[in-house]
Structure 1
């Protein structure tokens, strides 16, 4: 019997977590978030392949909503992994307060 790869096991776990919660982020809201941020919400990079990043990770009870999702470049998203956003920002020595204020302003406009 062939052993399952670690990545396949993690993919199945993620799929089960995703199925357990209700996500209400529409495509229009995602486009509006990307336009409002103008690039990666964390580093400001304007890479073409922005990813949906949950500030409170799905593995910790988060879900895809306007108030929890920000666009992130692949580097920032991979670095953050499943860490909560404030913990990650502090570890990276980024301006946590400025990020949270901007995120609240954007959610008010988009949401």
Structure 2
């Protein structure tokens, strides 16, 4: 479906790892909430999520990275924003 090579994925993951150390990310996660469920999360609980996943061509840039709780990040996996919204609509209680 997507022709994303391993080198691209490896480069983008390395960029994300470096961004986790940046002042931008550290400031962002001081007092934050999950981008997806809006529940407050502590610095220790926050995960970095690519809104458009690397496996789908997303990049490790400030505009594509958001703080997320582990639960939402694991559920979202490689879904795009549109697919994530569809997932939430199908799984409403």
Is this a same-fold pair by TM over 0.5? yes
- Which of 44, 48, 52 in structure 1 is aligned with 2:48? 52
Unaligned runs of 5+ in 2: none
TM-score (norm 2): 0.67
Q: Determine if the alignment matches structure 1 residue 29 to structure 2 residue 15.
A: no
Conserved 8 A contact 1:40-1:46:
yes
**Which position in structure 2 is the counterpart of 1:10?**
none
Deviating beyond 6 angstroms after TM superposition, the runs of 4 or more aligned structure 1 residues are 13-16
Q: CA deviation at 1:67?
A: 0.3
What is the root-mean-square deviation of aligned Cα atoms in Å? Answer: 2.9
What stretches of structure 1 of length at least 5 have no aligned partner? 1-12, 94-111
- Between structure 1 and structure 2, the one with the greater Rg is 1
> Aligned-pair distance for 1:78?
0.4
Indicate yes or no: 2:41 matched with 1:19.
no
More strand by share: 2
Q: What is the number of residues matched between the two proteins?
A: 80
CA displacement 1:36-59 (0-9 Å, x = unmatched): 7x2111111223311000001011
